[in-house]
Amino acid sequence: MAWQRVALVVEGSAALALADAFEAEGALATEITDADAGTPDEQAVFGEPGAESAPWPRARVGALFAADADLDRALERALAASGAPALAAASVDRVEDTDWVALTQRQFDPNRAVERLWIVPTWHAPPDPGAVNVILDPGAAFGTGSHPTTRLVLGWLERHVRAGDAVLDYGCGSGILGIAALKLGAASAVGVDVDPRALEAARYNSVRNAVALQTRDAHAALAGAADITVANILANPLRMLAPLLAAHTRIGGLIALSGILEEQADEVASAYAPWAALEVAGAEAGWVLLAGRRAG
C-alpha cells in the first residue's frame, strides 16, 4: 500500500487553519514545519495543543492522503476553507509502504534531557538506571523532551522541585513535566490541557511511570494553588493565561513559563508583572524560559 503526500508553504499565521482543513478533507496525518529552516528533515515539527499559530513567518504544511484520494480536489477545498494563500507551488509525492512502527522507534532513542533526567521510550531500557528516568511514548500530544522549550522547563524543575511540592502544569501535553516533577520529589502534580488526546496520553504515561499525575480538562474549574506552576505553550496563550496561572500559584510560589521566543520575553513578563517579576532563567536556540516568585 502507498500514500500521497502534499506540501505547500503558507504564512505561519495560517498554517494551523490549513492543517485543520486538510484533516477535514480526509488527510490521514498533517505536520507543520518551518519553511525557512532548511530541508524538511532538518526542521522542527510544530504541534502544541492549544496554540493559535505556528511560531514562524512562513510554514510548510504537509498532509498525507490515501493513494486513491482526489488530491487536487482536497487541496483546492482546503485552501478555500482555510483562506490561506499559498506562497509557493504545492509539491506532491508518493509515499511507499513501510514498517512505520519500526521506523518511528528508530527515530526515538533515550534522551538525556538535563543533568539527572532521561526521557526513555518504552521500547528501550534506561541507559542509566540510577538516573531519574521518565518512560514516555512519542504520540499525538506535544512533549517528548527533545524540543528546547521542554528541556528548558525540565532543567528548571530539576533545580527547583523540593520534596512535598504541589505542581501545576498548564498545557500538559504528554504529561512529561508533571511526571518529571513527581519523579524529582514533588508530592503531587496536576496536568491541565484543552486537548482530550493530550489528557489521555498524560494519563497513560503516568501509569507507565508509576506516578499519580492528576489530569484536568482546561474547560473545567480548577481548584487550589500550587507551590510551582509551569506552562510550556506559546507567548500569546501565556499572556492571556496570566491572571489564571497567577491565581493558582500560592503566594511565594514559583512560576516558570516556556514556549517564548527571545523577542517575546518582555511582553510576556509584562503580562505577569502585577503578580510576579519574571526574568529569563534559561535560553536555547532562540527560545527562553521566564521564571519568578509569586508576590503577595
Grid cell, residue 73, equals 480536489
Helix (H), strand (E) at residue 296: none
Q: Specify the amino acid at residue 180.
A: A
Indicate if the pLDDT at residue 48 is higher than 70: no
**DSSP H helical segments within 85-172, as ranges?**
100-107, 148-160
**Distance separating alpha carbons of residues 111 and 151, to the nearest angstrom:** 10
Q: Specify the amino acid at residue 126.
A: P
CA angle 175, 144, 45 (to 5 degrees): 120
pLDDT, tens digit, 9 for 90 and up, residues 226-271: 999 999 998 999 999 999 999 999 999 999 999 999 999 999 999 9
CATH code assigned to 107-293: 3.40.50.150
CB of 241 closer than 8 Å to CB of 255:
no
Tell me what pLDDT residue 225 has: 97
Rounded to the nearest integer, the mean pLDDT of the chain is 86
Q: Which fold has domain 3-97?
A: Alpha-Beta Plaits (3.30.70)
Q: pTM for the full model?
A: 0.67
**Distance separating alpha carbons of residues 220 and 217, to the nearest angstrom:** 6
Grid cell, residue 123, equals 521500547
Nearest to 244 by CA among 213, 214, 274, 200: 274
Q: Which of 21-30, 64-73, 88-97 shows the lowest per-residue confidence on average (mean pLDDT)?
A: 88-97
Tell me what pLDDT residue 138 has: 55
Tell me what pLDDT residue 46 has: 44
Q: Mean per-residue pLDDT for 119-128?
A: 83
Task: Read off φ and ψ for residue 93, nearest 5 degrees.
Answer: -145, 170
- Domain segments of the chain as ranges: 3-97, 107-293
pLDDT, tens digit, 9 for 90 and up, residues 50-81: 344 556 788 889 998 888 899 899 999 999 98
- DSSP assignment, residue 228? E
pLDDT, tens digit, 9 for 90 and up, residues 134-160: 988 655 445 666 788 999 999 999 999
More confident: 42 or 25: 25
Indicate if the pLDDT at residue 126 is higher than 60: yes
CB of 116 closer than 8 Å to CB of 157:
no
State the DSSP string of 45-90.
EE--TT-SS-SSSEEEEEEEEETTS-HHHHHHHHHHHHT---SS--
More confident: 95 or 170: 170
Tell me what pLDDT residue 85 has: 82
